[in-house]
Copies of this chain bind each other. A is one copy, B any other.
Amino acid sequence: MTDKKILTGKKKIIEVGNIKLGGHYSPVYIAGPCAVESKQQIMETALSLKEIGVDILRGGVFKPRTSPYAFQGLGREGLEYLKEAGETAGLPIITELMDEGHMEIVAEYADIIQVGSRNMFNYSLLKALGSVKKPILLKRGMCATINEWMLAAEYIAVHGNQDIILCERGIRGFDNYTRNTLDLAAVPIMQKETGLPVIVDPSHATGIKDLVTPMSRAALACGANGLMIEVHPNPSCALSDGQQSLNFQEYRQLRQDI
């Protein structure tokens, strides 16, 4: 059924600065806005999250949006802002790469490179990422089977990079009450099958901010190695995904509740 030769289950720890992800290390918290919208927005977010408690700062600068007319991200300019915010707050940063053409600059600026759900099947990109010397966060494709997801990771590994973090972010189902269906069984399955750390993104999985805390608790209870949570200074004005973003006060509450 599968063809794994490298990621066969041996436990892997990913190091990002002082942070250790995987195995029995404490869960890692990744938070930040869906998109970097301005220098001020990401700086404010970085400093607030640092104070509340976060390990890694996230922020999208190249955005894979369903509509060509939606905000597509600030691009390289956003990358500068994100980098500066991370450095000021003392936080490593993660951002999404959509395109091999930006791989060099993203690899230079970011501490972790994210492959989004829409690109999990983009095998050209996966192959290219094999040559990068930064950890890759590989989100599950919205309709990827467990086996397809494992083999997407294997693509990166066989091309030279075994520093891979997996991220369950919900799969597509028949009900649109939630944005996606969070498949938590994938957490212990992927940990066992690949040995890689698996984190969970409850924000995209549910699309509803009231569900972020209970699903975060569930994710950690079944062994997730970390969480990726959308936090925005002012969710109602966010340029994307406002409905599922927490504000600082809500994120503080989440950290207390867990």
Binding site for B on A (CB under 8 A): 2-3, 5, 64-70, 98-101, 118-119, 121-124, 127, 142-143, 145-148, 151, 154-155, 158-159, 171-178, 181-185, 187-189, 192, 205-206, 210-211, 214-215, 217-223
**Contact: A185 with B158, CB < 8 Å?**
no
Docked Cα-Cα span, A184 to B221, in Å, equals 12
**Contact: B121 with A64, CB < 8 Å?**
yes
Integer count of this chain's copies in the complex:
4
CB proximity of A117 to chain B, nearest CB, Å: 8
Which residue in chain B gives the minimum CB-CB distance to A175?
A: B145
Give 21 CB contacts A-B under 8 Å.
A3-B68, A66-B151, A68-B127, A68-B158, A118-B122, A118-B123, A143-B143, A171-B173, A171-B175, A173-B173, A174-B174, A181-B185, A185-B205, A185-B206, A185-B211, A185-B215, A187-B214, A192-B210, A214-B221, A215-B222, A220-B221
